[in-house]
Amino acid sequence: MKTRLNEEMLNNMSKDLGNWRGPFYFNRKDPRLIVPKMNPTFGQTLNFANPISYLAITALVALVFLVSII
């Protein structure tokens, strides 16, 4: 029961317009790294309040750069 309540609360956080800055999701209270977009048919996005999201983007850019050199 508690897990379902937390899941509903997290889903409500990702639907709150106050947590979106343009196309970017930014919510320090949300522990998830990957969250659904406002319209779930468009997929998922990163929670840019989570520092790991910046590490993931940096790693992805470095990987693309390294592959392009080879």
Residue 38's pLDDT band, with cuts at 50, 70 and 90, is confident
Angstrom distance (rounded) from CA 52 to CA 30: 13
Angstrom distance (rounded) from CA 60 to CA 39: 25
Nearest 5°: the CA angle 40, 44, 46 is 140
What's the pLDDT score for residue 32?
Answer: 92
What's the pLDDT score for residue 2?
Answer: 60
Verdict on whether the full-model pTM lies above 0.85:
no
The predicted model gives 30-55 an average pLDDT of 93
Asked if residue 9 has pLDDT above 70, the reply is yes
Which has more pLDDT, 3 or 36?
36
Secondary structure (3-state) at 20: strand
